[in-house]
Amino acid sequence: MAKQTLHDKLYSRKLHLPNRFLYGAIYHLGKLVFKKYNMTFNYIDDPRKEKGNIVMVANHANRNDFLFTAIPSYPKLFNYVAAYNEFFRTNLKDLFRIMQLVPKRQFFNDSYTVFEILSLVKKYNANICFYPEGLSGISGANQPITPGSGKLLKFLKLPVYACITQGAYLIYPKYVKFGAKERYAKTITTVSKIFTPEDLEKLSVSEIDQKLNEILFNDDYEWALKNNIHYKDNGYPIAKDLESLLYKCPKCGAEFKNVGEGNVIKCQACGNGASISDTYALTKLNKDDKIPITQTKWRNYQRIQIKKAIENDLNFTFEVETTISGLPKYRYVKPKENAIKEGEGKLVLSLKDGFKYIGTRNGENVILSVPNKELYTFCMSYDGDIIHFFYQGVLTQFTFKTKGMAAKILLTQQELHRASGGEWKALKDEYNEDLIFPKDE
């Protein structure tokens, strides 16, 4: 008999409700440990007063986002939906088993996940919590929800509550490397009831998806500036490694020339740069510098440039060398390990021919190919230099030699998907150039 893989073991489980005693212990411990988050909860509607079971949705801004849904809802217990690859970490596997979390391969039609959610609700009247974006925030603001979220809610026919948390992303921005200390300030979570079962019956799937995008949207950079929220760097300077996300100079257009050090990000080609305050405010180094209003707007600027390049070139193609990695079949990965190198090759992103990886994997020459309409985006799990997706259900991770390349590849694939008629649409103002720079420029 063939040895059972960790994937097979995970997907052969029959999930049930989390143990109330252990869930409570984790809840109280988490509440104590994470007082440093300075959490405030505002209730428009109180999920604890709902007599039956519910679904909770939330914006996904932080690696510890379960705190912002578990605390305001307790003693209601949730079966959470969590990213598949997190179940294979030595530091999380036992906790995820105790909490009876449901694995989900992001941006992949994972029928196991849907079946287990429906089974939990039917057999145990379970409360379900999931994050429609599918992964923790990259830019400081939301990305569009995963298509199909509304369809799942219609199937479940349960009251739907939302937790919208402000300030959580800036505690641990995506460009900060794994293992760094968090930047504490404050967070505010607002809880409200957004759909009744009757609402879900009347609304179409697309209408529900649209409302989810509108309700969940939050931009932490704008919130921090507006409310003058100050973040401590805790030994990891506020601009360090920022070029992992902000790779393009808004003044000269050079790519991969930005360097973040201390509290300054600066283009090494033309000298354009900004200092960053402890509220994440961007201030030009020189009078004639060209700097977006916030980091979110800077990322939108980069997206718009890619969109224009694709629109202006019917033969648009982008190639880059990469390392390919995956999860081992029979052992768990260490917290900083993430995945295991399996080969080297190149990525080819093309408007006409879709996405391709051409190179080696596990000792064989391979070509991995996906049409643009089927590949919405890539995921960034821990920091801005690593991306992954699920090719035929198998986690496939890419790393690059150049800082910022992962961010460019991610944005490029998103725009190729949209240019090819894909269903993962842009959010409001993502392409609004008038909002990128201060009005006096």
Q: What is the pLDDT of residues 344-354, one digit of tens each?
A: 999 999 999 99
Lowest mean pLDDT among 99-103, 137-141, 178-182: 178-182
DSSP letter at 141 equals B
Q: Which two tokens stand for residue 21?
A: 């005693």
The pLDDT score that the predictor gives to residue 441 is 63
Q: What is the band of 135 on the pLDDT scale with cuts at 50, 70, 90? A: confident
Q: Which two tokens stand for residue 407?
A: 């961010």
Confidence check: pLDDT of 59 > 80: yes
Residue (of 386, 393, 343, 347) closest to 368 by Cα position: 347
Confidence check: pLDDT of 195 > 80: yes
- Token look-up 């100079």 returns 249
Report the C-alpha gap between 165 and 64 in whole angstroms. 12
C-alpha dihedral over 299, 80, 425, 111, to 10 degrees?
130
The pLDDT score that the predictor gives to residue 62 is 84
Confidence check: pLDDT of 162 > 90: yes
Residue (of 134, 142, 191, 131) closest to 169 by Cα position: 142
Lowest mean pLDDT among 136-145, 250-259, 273-282: 136-145
Confidence check: pLDDT of 1 > 70: no
Number of other CB atoms surrounding residue 250 within 10 Å: 21
Report the C-alpha gap between 197 and 214 in whole angstroms. 19
Confidence check: pLDDT of 70 > 80: yes
CA angle at 397 for the pair 176 and 315, rounded to the nearest 5°:
100
The pLDDT score that the predictor gives to residue 370 is 98
Report the C-alpha gap between 91 and 248 in whole angstroms. 36
Q: What is the band of 33 on the pLDDT scale with cuts at 50, 70, 90? A: confident
Confidence check: pLDDT of 393 > 90: yes
Confidence check: pLDDT of 130 > 80: yes
Contacting residues for 234 by C-beta, under 8 A, at least 6 apart: 180, 181, 182, 183, 184
Confidence check: pLDDT of 63 > 90: no
Rg (CA), the chain: 22
- Residue pair 70/30 in contact by the 8 Å Cβ criterion: yes
Confidence check: pLDDT of 72 > 70: yes
What is this structure's pTM?
0.95
Q: What is the band of 55 on the pLDDT scale with cuts at 50, 70, 90? A: very high
The pLDDT score that the predictor gives to residue 424 is 94
Mean residue pLDDT of the chain comes to 94
Distance of CA 303 to the CA centre of its chain: 17
Q: Decide the pairing of beta strands 394-399 and 55-58.
A: unpaired
β-sheet bridge partners, residue 349: 318, 355
Q: Which two tokens stand for residue 201?
A: 């019956």
- Token look-up 């921090």 returns 224
Region 124-134: mean pLDDT is: 96
Lowest mean pLDDT among 17-21, 134-138, 201-205: 134-138
Q: Decide the pairing of beta strands 364-370 and 386-391.
A: unpaired
Q: Which two tokens stand for residue 211?
A: 């409302």
